[in-house]
Structure 1
C-alpha cells in the first residue's frame, strides 16, 4: 500500500507507523537505550515473579500486588517495544488495522490496570500500618484475588469502547500514523469524520481514572502519615515510613512521567513532533524499567533473596 498522503482508500487494512519523524538517521543509536530498557524490564520483572514464587515468606498481599504490577509492566513494554525495534532496525513499519487496535487496547487497558494496582498497594500499606493486627484478616487471599480481578475488569471495561469506536470511523485521508505505536488519539485523528466522541471519551477516562486513583492514594498516605506521627519515637517513625519507600518511589516515577507526557501532548503545541513521541515512549517504558530496580534495591526481602540466588549460582 502506498505511503502517499493523497490516498483515495477507505478503511485500509494496513497502517504505516511513521516511527519518530525527523530522527530516522539516528534510529540505530536511539534503538540502543530502548533495547537496554526493554531488556532490563523483561529481566527485572521476571526476576521479581521468580523470587516471589520461590520464596514462601513473600506469599503475602504486598508481594502479590507487586507480582500483578510486574505482569502489567511486562505486557505494557512488550506491547510497543518489539514493533518499535522492528521499525528502528528493519524499517518494518506496516501494521494490520486489527493489530493496531489490539495494541491500542493493551496500552490503555494495562496503563489503567497499573494505576489501579498502585491504589491496591497503597491500601495494603494503610492496613499494614494503621491496622497491623487485622492485616491478615482484612487482606486475605480471596480478598486480594477479588481486588486484582476488579482492577483488571475496570481497566478492560473502560478501555474497550476506544478500539470499537476507532473501528467505526472511515479512514479516507491517509494510512500513515505519525507515531511509533498505535496511540489512540493519534490514530482517530486520521479519520475523515467527527471524532469528538472518541476524543472526549478517551480524555474523560484518562482524567477520571488518574484523578480518582491519585485521590485514593493520597487519602491512604494521609492516614498513614497520621498514624506514623503518632508513634512515640523518631526511630519507629522512620522504620515504619521506610516500609512505604519503594511504593512511593514507584508512584512518583510512574505518575510524574505520565503527567509530563500528558502536559507535553496537550499544551506543547510548539514542541517538535519527535519530542512528543519520545516523551510518550518514555512514559510507557521508564516505569517498567525502574519498578523492578526500585523494589530490588529498596525491599530487603527481595534484595536478600536475589543476593542469595546470585551467590549460590556463583558458588
Structure 2
C-alpha cells in the first residue's frame, strides 16, 4: 500500500540522508513464499469481504441507522485500513522477490499501522461503553448514546491516536541508520526497525512501551470492567435467558478483544525481554494482529447479531435476478 512520506533530515554516520536510505525486508526465508502468501491472501480477502459487506449493509439498511451500528461501521473501516496497510506489500514481496523499501515509505507504513491499531483499541472501548449503557442504564440509553456521541467519539479516536502514533514514527525516523539495514520482519514494525539504528534508541523504545501500557492497558482494563459490570447486572436480574445470551455475547467479544491485545503484548515482550522466542513466531503474531482480528470482528459483532442477519436477508430479498 503506497502511503504519504514522512520526511527525515537526519544523516547516518556515512553522511547519507535517511530519506534516501533503503531497507531490506527479510520475511520468511526458511519457508516457501507461496505457502505463506496463500494463507495471507485468504485472511486478507476474508477481512476485506466481511468488513465491506458489513459496512454496506449498515449504510443501505435504514433500520440500522442508529449510533450502535454507526460505531460498528467505524470498526469496519478501521479493520479494512489495518488489513491493507501492510499485507498487499507483503504479498507483492513474496510473489516478486522485491524486498526493498524506501525509508520514508517504511516510516509512513509504521505510522499507519500504529494509528489503525490504536484506533481499533479505541473503538473496542467505545463499543464496550455502548453495551454497558444499553444493559446497565437502558432508560438513559437513547439520551446518552446519540449521533452526537458517535461524532465526538470519532473525533476523540482520531485526535488521540494521531497524537500517539505520530511521535512513535518520528522518533524512529530521527534515529541514525548505518550499514545493517535488513529488517527481520515482513513489514516496518517499530522495534524491528529501531534495532538497526547505530544511535541510542532508548527514548523511542521507552515511548512505545509507555504508550502500550497507558493506552492499550487502560483500554483493556476499562473494557474488562465494563463487561464484568454487564454480566453482574444480568445475573442479579435473575433472568436465565438474558444471562445466557449475555454470557455468549460478552464471551465472544472478550475472546476477540483479548486476541487483539495478546498478539500485540506478545510481540512487544518477545522483542524486549524473551529473546529465545523464534523470530518466525514473532512475525506470525504480528501478521495475525493485522489480519485475524479484522477477519473475525465482522463475524462476532455483525453476523452473530440478529438485526444484522435480518438486514442482510432484506437486502438480498430486494435483489432481482433476471434471466
TM-score (norm 2): 0.88
Q: For each residue in 1:216-269, what CA deviation from the matched residue of structure 2 results, as whole angstroms up to 9, or x when unmatched?
A: 112212221221122133123224555545533431332233344344434431
| Structure 2: distance between partners of 1:275 and 1:9 | 36
1:9 CA displacement: 6.3
| Structure 2: distance between partners of 1:93 and 1:313 | 45
1:189 CA displacement: 1.6
Distance 1:199 1:268, change over 3 A: same
1:228 equivalent among 234, 251, 261: 234
1:93 equivalent among 73, 95, 99: 99
| Structure 2: distance between partners of 1:35 and 1:208 | 33
Q: How many residues align?
A: 308
| Structure 2: distance between partners of 1:141 and 1:19 | 46
Distance 1:48 1:189, change over 3 A: same
2:22 equivalent among 15, 20, 23: 15
| Structure 1: distance between partners of 2:300 and 2:132 | 20
Distance 1:293 1:281, change over 3 A: same
| Structure 2: distance between partners of 1:276 and 1:253 | 15
Q: For each residue in 1:107-133, what CA deviation from the matched residue of structure 2 results, as whole angstroms up to 9, or x when unmatched?
A: 011111111111100000000001111
Distance 1:162 1:259, change over 3 A: closer
Give unmatched runs, 5+ long, in structure 2: 1-12
| Equivalent residue runs for 1:98-137 within 5 Å | 98-137=104-143
RMSD: 2.1
Distance 1:276 1:245, change over 3 A: closer
Contact 1:169 1:193 in 2 (8 A): yes
Distance 1:114 1:273, change over 3 A: same
1:76 paired residue number: 82
